[in-house]
Every structure is written in C-alpha cells, then in structure tokens.
Amino acid sequence: MSKNTKIIELDEVVVKFAGDSGDGMQLTGSQFSDTAVFVGNDLSTFPDYPSEIRAPQGTVAGVSGFQVHIGHKEVHSPGDKADVLVAMNPAALKANMKWTKPGATIIIDIDNFDNKHYKKAGYAEDPLEDGSLEGYNVVKAPITQMTRSTVKEFGLDNRTADKTKNQFVAGLLYWLFNRDIKFGENFIKQKFKNKPDLVKANVKVLNEGYNYAETIEAMATTFLVNPARKKKGLFRTISGNQATSWGLLAASERSGRPLFLGSYPITPASEILQEIAGRKHLGAKSFQAEDEIAGICAAIGASFAGHLAVTSTSGPGLALKGEAIGLAVMTELPLVIVNVQRGGPSTGLPTKTEQADLMQALYGRSGESPVVVIAASTPANCFDYGYIAAKIAIEHMTPVIMLSDGYLANGSELWHIPDVNDLPEIKVPYVKDNDPDYQPYQRNPDTLARYWAMAGQQGLLHKVGGLEKEDITGEASHDPMNHQIMVEHRQAKVEKVVDFIPGQEIIGPDTGDLLVIGWGGSYGALITAVEELQEEGKSISFAHFNYIRPLPKNTDDVLKGFRKRVVCELNMGQFADYLTMKHPKFEYLRYNKVQGLPFMISELKLKFNEILEELS
Amino acid sequence: MSHALKNIGKLTKQDFKVENPVKWCAGCGGHAVLSTVQNALPETGVKKENIVFVSGIGCSSRFPYYINTYVFHGLHGRAAAIASGIKVANPNLSVWIVTGDGDLMAIGGNHFIHILRRNINVNILLFNNKIYGLTKGQYSPTTPMGSVTKTSPDGTIENPFKPGELAMGSQGSFFARVVDTEPKMMKEVFIKAAEHKGTSTVEILQNCIIFANQVHKEITGREVREEHQIYLKHGEPMIYGKDKNKGLVLEKGRLKSVTIGESAYTLDDILVHDVKDPDDTIHYMLTRMSLPGLPVAMGIIRAFESQVYESMLTEQVEQARESTRINTVNELLRSGNTFEVK
C-alpha cells in the first residue's frame, strides 16, 4: 500500500452505514465487521431497521442503518456516536447527524444530494451549503454514477447496477481503514457463491471504490485499528438471538432431552424460532403455533412428554402466555420462556429496545406464581444464559424466564467459542420405570424439586394439571392447609435456586463512593462508562445482575459498601423498586431512560459525575 | 394400529378405572361416555402407559380424573395445544382430548381449527351439551338461537356453531357424531376414531341434566330417534326410519329425504356413504342436516386419511440428520466464519 496520506492509529472507531432499506447497508456493515474480525479487532455491532419493511424511499422513516464499533482495545457496546458516517442520501444524513461526532468523516453519495431528495428528506435548505456540516470532513463521492459506469461492461440495468453501490462504499472504507481488499472480495465470493456474474460485478465495484479513494486523496488521513489483545482461541461474531438459540441447543445435547420450541413469530424474537426451525439436523423440533398461547401450551405438553421445552416471545406475547406460565408453575414442569423485550406497552416500539418487562416477568400472573428470572447482558452471553435457563428449568422442575432485549437480540459481538463439553453438567431428575415408590409430588430435599416422570414411561402413570395438587400424591385437592403448604413449597423451590447460582460480582473495589447497578442488556454502556471513570481515578464500582429471582446470596454485602447506589435501567425504575422491596435498608438513586434506545456512555458518565460531585 | 407399542396381554375395562369417585351429577351423560371409553380402550391394543388424556376446563374436562392413563388437565380452551405438544414430542403416544362445547368452540376455537388443519394424530371427544355447566348455566356457542339461559334472559341472539361445519371448514380428516345414550354406537365410533391416522373429532350429543336437560330430545328421544337420526355406515346406502324405508338423495345440489317406493324412488337412487371420499362436499352437507326436513347424521361422517403433521416432521428431522455435516453443537459453533488467535 503506497500512500501519501497520514495514517492515524486509533484504539477504537465507530462507523455508521446509513441509507435506504434497499441500499444494502446491512450487508456492507457485515462485510466491514467480518474483515475487522479477521484482522483481529474486538467488535460490537448494532443494526437499526425501520419498522416498516419498505418505507418510502428517500424519507427519514425509510433509513436503515448499521453501526460497527471496532477496537484495538476491548469493545463493550456499538458506541455512542460515529467517527465515520456513510450517508447514501440526504435522509440518511438527516437521521444520523445527531449520532455523529463533531469533526467526523462523512461520506455521502453526492448523486443523491439534489432538490428532489432534499424535499423527501424534509430539508428546507441544501445541507451542503447551509453551514450545518462545517467542521466535518465531508467526502462527496459520485457513488451512483461511478458504480453505473463501472458495471456497464456487464450489461446490467440501472436497478441491478445500483444494487452494487454498497460495494463502492465498502471499497472506500477498505482504503480509509487500510484494510486488505482481499477480505472484501472473499466476503462477496461467499455471499454470491452460486452467482459468478454478481461476484464479478461486485468485486469490480469494490475495487473501483478503493481506487477512487486512493486517486482523489480527498481523505487526507486514513485510520489503522490494530488487532485487539485477545486471549487465544477460536472466535466468531454472534448475535443475541443466535446465541440464545445455540445455548438452548447445547443444553438439549448436554441434558440428553430433545429440544422442542413452541412459538409464534414476534419482533424481535422471531430469529430464535427461525434458527431452531433450521436445526432439525440436531434433532430439534420447532412448532410454529397459531398464537402465543398455543406456543407455550404445546411446549408444556412437550415437557410432560420429556422434552426440553422452550417458548420464545416478546412483551405482548409474554402477557398472553401468563396463564400458561401459571400452569407450568402448578404442574412443576421444566420450561424455558425467552422474552426478548421491546418498547411497550401494547404494540409499542416493536423494533426498539427496552427493559420494561421485568415486573411482568416477576409477577405478571394470577395467584402466587413464582418463577426463576434471569437476564442475559451481552449478545454473546445469551448463549450462557440460554444454557443456564434450561439447566435451572430441568434441575429445579420450574419455568424459567430468560430476559433478553431487542438490543442484545440484534446486536452482535465477538465471541470466544466454548467447548460444549466444558459447560456445567445438567442433571435430569429422572424417575426409573416401574419405581414402586414414585409419587408425583415427592421432592428432592436439596432442590425441593419434584421428579420428572415422562408420559410414556412404564409404571409411572400419574395426573398433572392446573388444579391445586395434594402434597406428595399430586391428586387434585381443595384442602385449605394443603394449599398453604403447596404455595410455600413452590416458593421455597424457586428461592432454593440461590444455592446453585454464583455470587454477585463487583467490578471495582467493594467499597467506595458510588455503586452503579444494572441488569440485562445495558451492560455494555454501563461497564464502559464505569471503567472510563475508574481510569480517571473516581471512586466508582459496578454490579450488574444476571440473576434476578432469586437474587444472589451476597446481594446485601454487595450493596452495603457504598455511600450511594444508582440503579440504571431502560424503564421507569422496576429493578430499583424490586431491590427496594428485597433489600429495603438501602436507598437507591435511579437513572431511567425510555426512548427505545440504549444508554449512551456519555450520558451515563455525566450522571455518575453529577452524583460523585454531590458527595465530594 | 398406528401406535408402535402394543400391550402384551389384553387389557380390560377394569384396567382403565380409577378409585376416585366420579363427581359428575347423577344422570349426567358423562357417565355413559366414560364407561364406553373404558370399554373401548382395551380394543385399541395400546397399553395404558402409552395413552394420554388431555382436557381443558369444564364439566367434560374433569373426565381425565376418572381414567387410569397419563393425564394432563390443562387450561380452558387449550387442550388441543397441549395435546399437540405431547403428540409432536412423542408420536408413539395415543393422545385423547376430552372437551366441551364451551372449551372447544368458544375459548379454544382457534386451537381446534388449527389442530385439524395440521392433522395431528389425536382423538377429540367433544361433549356437546349446548350449555356451560361448570359455571352453572350460561349459553355456549352451540346453544340454539333464542334459548333462555342465565346470561340470555331474553333469549340468545347468536347463531350457534355446528361443530361438524367447523371441522369440515378446517379440513378435518375425521368427523363423527354419536349420542350419549347409545353405548354401542359410541364404542364402535371411538375405536374407529382411535384407528384413524389424523385428527379425529367425535361430537357426542350429551345431556346436561341440570342446565339443559333434554336439549337433544328431538334427536335422541326414544319415540323419535329412528325417524330423526340416520346412522351412517361406510359403503352402505343412507337409509333410516322405523321401517328403513327412508333415504337420502342428491337433487339440484341439495340433500333430500325421500321414501323408497314413493314417487318412483328405489334403493338404487339412495346415496351410498363413502367416508373416504377426498372431496368433502357431501360430508359437509351431511354434518349440516337438521330437523325438520332432514334427519340428523350419526356415526362416522368423514374418515379420509392424508398426511399427518408429526410424521412429516419426524421425516424432516430424519432427512436433516442424514444430509448434514453438522452433527453436534460443537460442530455448529465452529461452522461458518470463525477465526483463530494463536
């Protein structure tokens, strides 16, 4: 690479690709991410789709984006704001300006910057002339024109030709980041495996983009993000929904119980159903039910027949499943309920993230209906918590709600691939055929769980159902004292899970001025903000909860060592309320956001500094 | 028999009885159905441990407490969904759903039409007493128009469902209608329902002695039943009546009841019942027949065998297993784009 330009080495960089839904920005984003992975950067990505499949072209509502955060240092989130913005049209520029850092490099397709497009985007004045881009490094590339003339020799019509525009952009970026273009070419070859013509055209456009960048020298500086100092081993990128599905598949393999997923499509959880539907080769069965209720009821039936039963959904679906979760509580059958949260209530913000289903997960059912609630905190650890949800469900014979969210589900990050054989063992509470002492509601003294006799087993005929059960025998019973005992048993069983989960970790010293408390999908932004303040020498620590019910045994110890505690969550304070109830002797400050968006590191730091200043 | 595991020694009715007292009202039609099911099960050749009874909520849905098999007493309306999961998970089980007109036609209507559409190999026993019994006397989706009940003091203003119409409209592969007072008919039909590969629906005209007593008497009454019912049998002409001289013919696209020997009708004019006809047009007409003018059809109206959901799924799983190179989760985790840091 011979370049006259200056190369700046960066610890981390955020790139945002934005255009019409049809501009292929998701693809270019993935291509750029894959290359970053191959050269050894740490990585976190987040796609940003419009909720309509094909919103009107050129409008702000139709802008589709893909944000990539790559780092030489460890990366925990897709980043607050972009260092480089690609805007394929004025709408993409308009939608993303506030998410772009001052002084950022903005690459635009100048061919789309005309009055017609300004009008569609709602610009009253030409944004290139009105001074709003002052201080930015704007690269005006004739992407459409250059692409069309490049592919002329392939005889493609303009429509098809325009679909390769995203490769021109990719070429620009490969040059800008000093990437070997071979990675980009390989990505194309794999993507269009059986379409040699498309491979040729796209590779040509990719190279043209690269050459164009080199020739015009419009970008005076280029960037280099060196490989991250990762531990050794095998890595891949993985999204939250994929990781959840794979964690469940791993649990099925390790427990020896075949996987059954009863589910109904719902954003942003559908990919779990799609992923499992494609895993019949691992023996997994998926059942796309007629509604949310049938999905969970079929799963409960499959659990009675001895399968690792799962249902996946989002908030409105969880509401519909409430009665059936109660049935699983009463029948004490293993069941995993994956709830990928989105903005609510009602249909709410289907494609946006939120953490507002916590209380619903904990309490959204009739009667005393305790279930285990756990929450994943990164796209990759959805694998771990999917696995753990299944392990707890089986070993403790209980429904387990695993909380994920739209941000984790669609985001992806680098993942150190584990060996499934190293995962903790799953001990299935089997009953031997013809066991003369078998009683359906006899309990294991360690876990207080009943045993799992499966329909079809010999000599273990029994009845389960939603009516209150008589202790030990499992016969239907309306006896007052028996009901008291059974309610207490079911609660004690769930609380007993505390003996089988790890203690709560504190990141940073276990005493100090401020303890930041989070749970679930907000981990990435919180840890980054806390670590940056720790580097500045602030007295701040961080406890991020993955086990919600039951809370880890040492929770009280974790909370007590600080002058202030602030609970940060994407809701109106549900976890703070829960902690207030469970650990009432402490006071909790709250930092809440309900905009359908994840926390920004900058706003968190601002808040934490504010609290710390009050203390000093 | 579609069930892989057969019993070694033949079971008897006694094997399916439980010690629990049966808590239906004295005179409830449920008693006769229970007794007949216990009589029929040994004939299916399936052992107790491979039978699961699933129910929803309602008087009928207490049935599973009175039978000695695996039992799942589910949620109101959801028996079909629970049963689907059981059967898909373990196709070797013989799965029976016991439900009522409220449970299956109202709150569970959605699950009913979809289990039929999928053709999952389970048997549905629908106790149709045209009333909500357990909640003490509110009208149901099968209650005749104009009926006075606790929630329709001025008479209902809703058209009732005919379960058979829904079954046909949902591509149900097996539909039969029986009466709770005729154990012989019930037993024959229950056994056929069990043998049928696909979802079998048996509508049982059942009497609720408390809240809808004699609701079926126009059909089932001792003095009228021969004239008001036609017991359909596969391969036989559709004749009925005390003197077996009435029959059904198809004229101008409609079913018509005629008397053999009158107006030049002979036995050869009478329709012959074909339960296996893939075209369900005649079956649909038969399920719709009502008094006055036409007799009510009893027996098996449709039994057309086509592909069964769980068999197709099992086949897909087997094919996927044969053609994959990814046999373990470790292999899955390492498939596609990965990279190694040394």
pLDDT tens digits along A103-142? 999 999 999 999 999 999 999 999 999 999 999 999 999 9
Which residues of chain B does A329 touch, with a Cβ-Cβ cutoff of 8 Å?
Answer: none
Per the CB < 8 Å rule, is A420 touching B92?
no
Q: What is the mean pLDDT of residues A579-589?
A: 98
Residue A412 and residue A44 in contact, taking contact as beta carbons nearer than 8 Å: yes
The helix/strand/coil state of B134 is coil
DSSP B18-84: -SSPP-SPTT-THHHHHHHHHHHHHHHTB-GGGEEEEE-SSSGGGGGGGSSSEEEE--TT-HHHHHH
Q: What angle (nearest 5°) sits at the alpha carbon of residue A241, between those of residues A235 and A247?
A: 65
- Considering only CB atoms, B90 lies closest to which of A262, A305, A466, namely A305
Within a domain: B284 = no
Closest residue in chain A to residue B5, using alpha carbons only:
A456
Q: What is the mean pLDDT of residues A386-394?
A: 98
H or E segment and range at residue A495? helix A480-496
Q: What is the mean pLDDT of residues B32-61?
A: 97
- Considering only CB atoms, B71 lies closest to which of A250, A460, A463, namely A463
d(CA B116, nearest CA chain A) in Å? 12
**CATH number given to A6-225:** 3.40.920.10
d(CA B21, CA B24): 9
The residue with tokens 């019509």 is A157
Instruction: Provide the domain count of chain B.
Output: 1
Q: Which of B86, B107, B328 to mutate to test the interface with A (most CBs of A within 10 A)?
A: B86
Share above pLDDT 70 across residues of chain A, in percent, rounded to a whole number = 98
Per the CB < 8 Å rule, is A459 touching B49?
yes
Common-topology check for domains A6-225 and A236-421 = no
Within a domain: B302 = no
Per the CB < 8 Å rule, is A279 touching B332?
yes
Q: What is the mean pLDDT of residues B304-330?
A: 97
Q: Outline where DSSP puts E strands in B182-326.
A: 200-205, 229-232, 239-240, 246-251, 254-259, 296-303
Per the CB < 8 Å rule, is B340 touching A233?
yes
Query: Which tens digits make up the pLDDT trace of A42-62?
Result: 999 998 876 666 678 899 988
State the pLDDT at residue B87. 98
Residue B125, domain extent? 13-220
DSSP A301-365: HHHHTT-EEEEEE-HHHHHHHHHHHHHHHHHT--EEEEEEE-B-STT-BTTS---TTHHHHHH-S
Residue B219 and residue B205 in contact, taking contact as beta carbons nearer than 8 Å: yes
Confidence of residue A3 (pLDDT cuts 50, 70, 90): low
State the pLDDT at residue A51. 63
State the pLDDT at residue A379. 97
Confidence of residue B10 (pLDDT cuts 50, 70, 90): confident
Q: What angle (nearest 5°) sits at the alpha carbon of residue A315, between those of residues A313 and A317?
A: 50
Per the CB < 8 Å rule, is B92 touching A458?
no
Q: Write the CB contacts of A280 (distance below 8 Å, at least 6 apart in sequence).
A: B316, B317, B319, B320, B321
Per the CB < 8 Å rule, is B90 touching A459?
no
Which residues of chain A does B48 touch, with a Cβ-Cβ cutoff of 8 Å?
Answer: 461
φ and ψ at residue A178, rounded to 5 degrees: 55, 45
Assign a CATH topology to domain A512-615: Rossmann fold (3.40.50)
d(CA B74, CA A365): 16
The residue with tokens 């704001």 is A81
Per the CB < 8 Å rule, is B85 touching A249?
no
What angle in degrees, to the nearest 10, is found between the helix axes of A523-535 and A601-615? 50
Within a domain: B62 = yes
d(CA A578, CA A116): 53
Domain boundaries, chain A: 6-225, 236-421, 512-615
State the pLDDT at residue A52. 64
Query: Which tens digits make up the pLDDT trace of B154-210?
Result: 999 999 999 999 999 999 999 999 999 999 999 999 999 999 999 999 999 999 999
Share above pLDDT 70 across residues of chain B, in percent, rounded to a whole number = 97
- Considering only CB atoms, B88 lies closest to which of A285, A455, A457, namely A285
In order of A154, A171, A204, A213, A441, the CA distances from A199 in angstroms are 11, 15, 8, 21, 62
Q: What is the mean pLDDT of residues A578-598?
A: 97
d(CA A415, nearest CA chain B) in Å? 10
Number of C-beta neighbours around residue B278 at 10 A: 8
d(CA B305, nearest CA chain A) in Å? 22
Confidence of residue B8 (pLDDT cuts 50, 70, 90): low
Distance in Å from the first CA to the final CA of chain B: 59
d(CA A517, CA A505): 11
d(CA B41, CA B11): 8
Gyration radius from chain B CA atoms: 22
pLDDT over 90 (residue A160): no
**What's the mean pLDDT when you consider all of chain A?**
95
Residue A211 and residue A171 in contact, taking contact as beta carbons nearer than 8 Å: yes
Per the CB < 8 Å rule, is A301 touching B320?
no
Q: Write the CB contacts of B281 (distance below 8 Å, at least 6 apart in sequence).
A: none
Per the CB < 8 Å rule, is A309 touching B85?
yes
d(CA A16, nearest CA chain B) in Å? 23
Which residues of chain B does A455 touch, with a Cβ-Cβ cutoff of 8 Å?
Answer: 52, 70, 72, 86, 90, 93
- Considering only CB atoms, B341 lies closest to which of A230, A327, A458, namely A230
Per the CB < 8 Å rule, is B85 touching A230?
no
Number of A/B CB contacts below 8 angstroms equals: 192
Which residues of chain B does A283 touch, with a Cβ-Cβ cutoff of 8 Å?
Answer: 317, 321
Q: What is the mean pLDDT of residues B141-151?
A: 96
Which residues of chain B does A418 touch, with a Cβ-Cβ cutoff of 8 Å?
Answer: 333
Residue B127 and residue B60 in contact, taking contact as beta carbons nearer than 8 Å: yes
Distance in Å from the first CA to the final CA of chain A: 53
Closest residue in chain A to residue B83, using alpha carbons only:
A301
d(CA B222, CA A323): 44
Residue A181 and residue A206 in contact, taking contact as beta carbons nearer than 8 Å: yes
Q: Which amino acid is at A568?
A: C
Closest residue in chain A to residue B46, using alpha carbons only:
A456
Q: Which of A32, A281, A286, A323 to mutate to test the interface with B (most CBs of B within 10 A)?
A: A281
Per the CB < 8 Å rule, is B333 touching A418?
yes
State the pLDDT at residue A2. 47
φ and ψ at residue B129, rounded to 5 degrees: -110, 5
Within a domain: B169 = yes
Beta pairing partners, A105: A84, A137
Q: What is the mean pLDDT of residues B6-14?
A: 76
Within a domain: B329 = no
Q: Write the CB contacts of B163 (distance below 8 Å, at least 6 apart in sequence).
A: B101, B104, B105, B126, B128, B142, B201, B203
Q: What is the mean pLDDT of residues A479-483?
A: 98
Within a domain: B275 = no
Per the CB < 8 Å rule, is B70 touching A418?
no
Parallel, antiparallel or unpaired: strands A6-10 and A221-225: parallel
d(CA B108, CA B35): 26
In order of A81, A304, B84, B243, the CA distances from A299 in angstroms are 42, 9, 9, 53
In order of A43, A53, A177, B88, B115, the CA distances from A174 in angstroms are 16, 29, 5, 50, 54
d(CA B270, CA B256): 10
Give the CATH number of the domain where residue B83 resides: 3.40.50.970
Within a domain: B274 = no
Assign a CATH topology to domain A236-421: Rossmann fold (3.40.50)
- Considering only CB atoms, B340 lies closest to which of A234, A237, A304, namely A234
Per the CB < 8 Å rule, is A237 touching B316?
no
